[in-house]
Amino acid sequence: MQVPDDAVKISPEGQTLNIHLENVAVIDQGSFPAGTGTTPATASFDITYTKSGSSRHVRPTSHDPLSPFTWAGEMWMAMNSGNFSVKYNDTSFSAQGTFSSDFLPAGNFGEMGTERNGSFVEREDAENDDEANGEEHRTQKALINSGAIVSDPASAGETMAMSLRSSRARTLRAWKSKP
């Protein structure tokens, strides 16, 4: 569900993220995942996520739109803990409690960071394609203009620079074509 932006506070250095909501209208469906309950209630909670360790860069490794691996981002492992309360609108039930990812023996999985998925990743792919094609075109044109392809050999430095640009273009295309 959508909540106000100011319900979330991210620390200046991005190390923690806190979400605080009070008396949010919810429906208690009774069970998960196929609950059929429709009891109106309100919930309040306060949760803080804290990064740990170093980040990992995630790249899309599949072009299958239904795959879990079609996104890009930078993620950190994260701990989180919080408290909550819930109350039926008819006041017949209420409860409150606390929870934490710091669960023995190994702790529960959690992560936080930045993500791009869907069209934001496809757009990057397209931009990489355009960049790669443009780079190769410019390199070919430079080779022709410099005469490297036709007759006069370019200097060693020019040849090296053009080779690097061409190599970069190929690398970008190869990266894009990975399954």
Partner 1 sequence: MTVRRRLGYALCVLLVCSFPVWGQVEPVPIPGGDMLPPLFNQFFPGVGAGFDGLNADPHGITNFRGTVAMGYTNGTATDNKEKTYNVITDIRVYQGDYVGAEIGASGTAGASKSGKAHGTFVEI
Tell me the one-letter amino acid at 172.
L
Nearer to partner 1, 71 or 132 (CB): 71
Is 20 a binder of partner 1 (CB under 8 A)?
no
Report phi then psi at 43, rounded to 5.
-130, 150
| Minimum distance, C-beta of residue 73 to partner 1, in the bound complex (Å) | 8
Q: How far is the CB of 158 from partner 1 (least distance, A)?
A: 39
The least CB distance from residue 126 to partner 1, in Å, is: 14
Question: What's the rounded Cα separation, in Å, for the pair 16 and 10?
Answer: 6
Contact 88, 39 (CB under 8 A): yes
**Contact at 8 Å (CB) between 89 and 41?**
yes
Give the contact letters, 97-126, x = binds to partner 1 (CB under 8 A), - = no. Answer: xxxxx-x----xxxxxxxxxxxxx------
**Residue 127 beta carbon to partner 1: minimum distance, rounded to whole angstroms:** 14
> Rounded to an integer, what distance in angstroms lies between the CA atom of residue 139 and that of residue 136?
5
Considering only residues 71 through 100, tell me which ones interact with partner 1, judged by CB under 8 A.
71, 73, 78-82, 84, 86, 93-100
**d(C-alpha 85, C-alpha 91), whole Å:** 13
Name the strand (E) or helix (H) holding 179: none
Of 58 and 154, the one with the shorter C-beta distance to partner 1 is 58
Q: How far apart are CA 179 and CA 163, in angstroms?
A: 26
17 counts as binding partner 1 under rule CB under 8 A? yes
Kindly tell me which of 74 and 153 has the beta carbon lying closer to partner 1.
74
Pairing of strands 72-88, 8-10: unpaired
Q: Is the peptide bond before 65 cis (omega within 30 degrees of 0)?
A: no
Choose between 47 and 161: whose C-beta lies nearer to partner 1. 47
Residues that bind partner 1 (CB under 8 A): 1-5, 7-8, 10, 17, 19, 21, 24-35, 40-41, 43, 45, 47, 49, 58, 61, 64-71, 73, 78-82, 84, 86, 93-101, 103, 108-120
